Copies of this chain bind each other. A is one copy, B any other.
Amino acid sequence: MGKKQKVEAITPMDQDFAQWYTDVISKTELVDYSPVKGFMVIRPYGYAIWENIQKEYDKRFKETGHKNMYFPLLIPESLLKKEAEHVEGFAPEVAWVTHGGDKELGERLCIRPTSETIICSMYSKWLNTYRQLPYLFNQWCSVVRWEKTTRPFLRTSEFLWQEGHTLHETYDEAQEETMQMLEIYRDVAEKHLAIPMVVGKKSEKEKFAGAYATYTMEALMHDGQALQSGTSHNLGQHFTKAFDITYLDRDNNQAYPYHTSWGISTRLIGALIMVHGDDNGLVMPPKIAPTQIVVIPIAQHKEGVLDKAWEVFDGLKESFRAEIDDMDGYSPGWKFNQWEMKGVPIRLEIGPKDIENGQCVLARRDTGEKIQVALEDVSSEVERLLDEIQDNLFQKALNMREEKTTTAVDMEEFKKNIAETPGFVKAMWCGSRECEDNIKEATGATLRCVPFDQETIGEGKCVCCGEKADQMAYFARAY
């Protein structure tokens, strides 16, 4: 409720989805625009979501043997240039530091757009023998990529992320790692963020600059656009050769290790908003919600109400992320709206009558359903409901994705689908860059991935050129 914020309602999502998004992120105080164009401020409510996402992924990374570390923010121009494809991919979008204090620097330094180059320069110094392998390291940090058009969480010139960087003795081990991390990404996204993911391989055109192969998880937003939500790269030996990372292998020969990198970012918050949100605002999956339940006293000036509300709150706060809203001067209805907008999964209402009857009311954010619960059962009921809401949100998102997923056997059908049912189009693809480009030009849809989960559409002919095609791909317009 800052000075510059309007108190008007949120724009309905089906009227103007982009405006709905902008309304929701600012009214719920997730994020704000900063004085630096393209850079966002992540406000406490938005950051709390990030902390919950971070915590779960970090736990999974550590369980699979990864350790965190921290590399410098700045990368010398000469290092960035060492791997040819990589510099070509990133040089146009990096920020350059030219002066330190009053002095011009001898060599320009870029703010990391990603850290493969500087990390490889150090791995080459540290790695000596196969006994040290695998190298399983990760870092949480911010990166900068100078973007022309930006939108908070989805595309900003600075964002928070993690980047894993591992080294292995064999190609197979690197591939296994690449797949393992993608699977962790998918699992947490589905189980905690309640966002169903399509997982698969990127095309040559869409892969990471310098990768041997890039794998991705792709989510579908309410407006039918896809969002790339996490990528895992098998980098082969491209970087390890460019950076001369060698080690003495089991046969006593100098060898180049195999290399992976993988990342997820604050983009996932954008996905959360656009998958689960509705016209009343955010809808938070319980496992990620900064506040899982809010206690709102009704007629709180009446004797005993506040005491009882606090008693109930105290009974909840050890087991759940709970809040109590006993602010004076605001009506319960106003408070309901505020907390609904923030997407808190359960609202607990308790007033004089409830207290008389030894009960309270639990209202679900996802369905609007209200349940009366005896006070002694509140904790167990809340626990059950949170699980149910979590499952329901995933199922709803899956249904939405399925409704917005079509198949096409030729370009006519493809165009019709994209126009009438914006979403994923599953279609056969011959594998050529030309068809990929033609599809984009004709429909605005890009090749999101060739999914691991394959099927044959129609007679197995490329949706674009009609030639024989042995792979099915997901296409969509994308953020």
List chain B residues, Cβ under 8 A from A68: 44, 47-48, 51
A116 to chain B, nearest CB (A): 14
Q: In whole angstroms, how far apart are the Cα atoms of A97 and B96 in the complex?
A: 5
Residue of B nearest to A91 (CB): B101
Interface residues on A, range: 35 or more
B71 touches A160 (CB 8 A): no
Q: Give A33-69 as 1s and 0s: 1 = Cβ < 8 Å from B's Cβ atoms.
A: 0111001111110111011000000000000000111
Q: Is A381 located at the chain interface by the 8 A CB criterion?
A: no
What are 24 A-B contacts with C-beta separation under 8 Å? A2-B125, A4-B125, A32-B122, A34-B71, A39-B72, A39-B74, A41-B69, A41-B72, A44-B68, A44-B69, A46-B69, A50-B70, A51-B68, A70-B142, A73-B73, A73-B158, A74-B95, A92-B102, A96-B97, A96-B98, A98-B98, A98-B99, A100-B157, A111-B111
List chain B residues, Cβ under 8 A from A97: 95-98, 111
A79 touches B128 (CB 8 A): no
Supplied contacts A39-B74, A44-B67, 17 more A-B pairs, CB within 8 Å: A1-B132, A2-B125, A3-B127, A32-B122, A34-B118, A35-B121, A36-B75, A44-B69, A70-B142, A73-B73, A74-B95, A92-B102, A96-B97, A96-B98, A97-B97, A100-B146, A131-B327
A247 to chain B, nearest CB (A): 9
Q: In whole angstroms, how far apart are the Cα atoms of A41 and B1 in the complex?
A: 41
A38 to chain B, nearest CB (A): 9
Most buried by B among A96, A100, A131, A146: A100
Residue of B nearest to A146 (CB): B100
Q: Is A109 located at the chain interface by the 8 A CB criterion?
A: yes
Pairs A-B, 10 closest by C-beta atoms: A39-B72, A44-B67, A100-B146, A2-B126, A96-B99, A42-B70, A101-B146, A98-B98, A34-B72, A47-B69
List chain B residues, Cβ under 8 A from A111: 73, 97, 111
Q: In whole angstroms, how far apart are the Cα atoms of A86 and B326 in the complex?
A: 40
CB contact between A73 and one of B1, B109, B126, B144 (< 8 Å): that residue: B144
- Residues facing B in A129-163 (CB within 8 A) are 131-132, 137, 141-142, 144, 146, 157-158, 160
Residue of B nearest to A93 (CB): B101
A72 touches B4 (CB 8 A): no
List chain B residues, Cβ under 8 A from A95: 74, 97, 99-101, 109
B36 touches A76 (CB 8 A): yes
List chain B residues, Cβ under 8 A from A132: 1
Describe A's contact surface by its main secondary structure. Answer: mixed
Q: In whole angstroms, how far apart are the Cα atoms of A158 and B142 in the complex?
A: 14
Residue of B nearest to A135 (CB): B44
Q: Is A10 located at the chain interface by the 8 A CB criterion?
A: no
Q: Is A94 located at the chain interface by the 8 A CB criterion?
A: yes
A65 to chain B, nearest CB (A): 11
Q: In whole angstroms, how far apart are the Cα atoms of A6 and B94 in the complex?
A: 37
- A73-B142 contact given A36-B109, A96-B98, CB 8 Å threshold: yes
Q: In whole angstroms, how far apart are the Cα atoms of A111 and B32 in the complex?
A: 19
Q: In whole angstroms, how far apart are the Cα atoms of A182 and B136 in the complex?
A: 37
Q: In whole angstroms, how far apart are the Cα atoms of A34 and B76 in the complex?
A: 10
A101 touches B92 (CB 8 A): yes
Q: In whole angstroms, how far apart are the Cα atoms of A68 and B142 in the complex?
A: 15
A246 to chain B, nearest CB (A): 9
List chain B residues, Cβ under 8 A from A102: 92
Q: In whole angstroms, how far apart are the Cα atoms of A4 and B121 in the complex?
A: 13
Most buried by B among A32, A39, A70: A70
Most buried by B among A34, A50, A68, A158: A34
